[in-house]
Amino acid sequence: MMIIHRGILVGVLCLFLAGLPGSLLAQTPPEESTHEIVALLKEQNSKLSNDLRRIQREIAALRADLDKPGIKDVFAGIGYIFGLFGAAAFVAARRKE
């Protein structure tokens, strides 16, 4: 009895499994909507890669800007120059005395 029961169960399971792909196929959307989705994805993809490229370009420009010396460096240099020449003038003046 048990063996027959198990056999029936296995049979039902097999039938179910065999029927499954059919039911899945039945659920897939029709051909044209697939194309639509693919087109949509492609569009989004290209838009995203455009955005990404723009951002990368901006990062490169920012990096170039960061490499440029700023107003701080300019004034630091002027300070160094005047300081050094001031020290030189001091030494020269003392030597003259």
- The contact set with another protein (CB under 8 A) reads 67, 69, 73-74, 76-78, 80-82, 84-86, 88-89, 92-93, 95-96
Q: Which residues contact 18 (CB under 8 A, 6 or more apart)?
A: none
Q: Max CA-CA distance within the chain?
A: 127
Q: How far is the CB of 50 from another protein (least distance, A)?
A: 22
Q: How far is the CB of 45 from another protein (least distance, A)?
A: 31
Q: How far is the CB of 39 from another protein (least distance, A)?
A: 37
Q: How far apart are the first and last CA of the chain?
A: 127
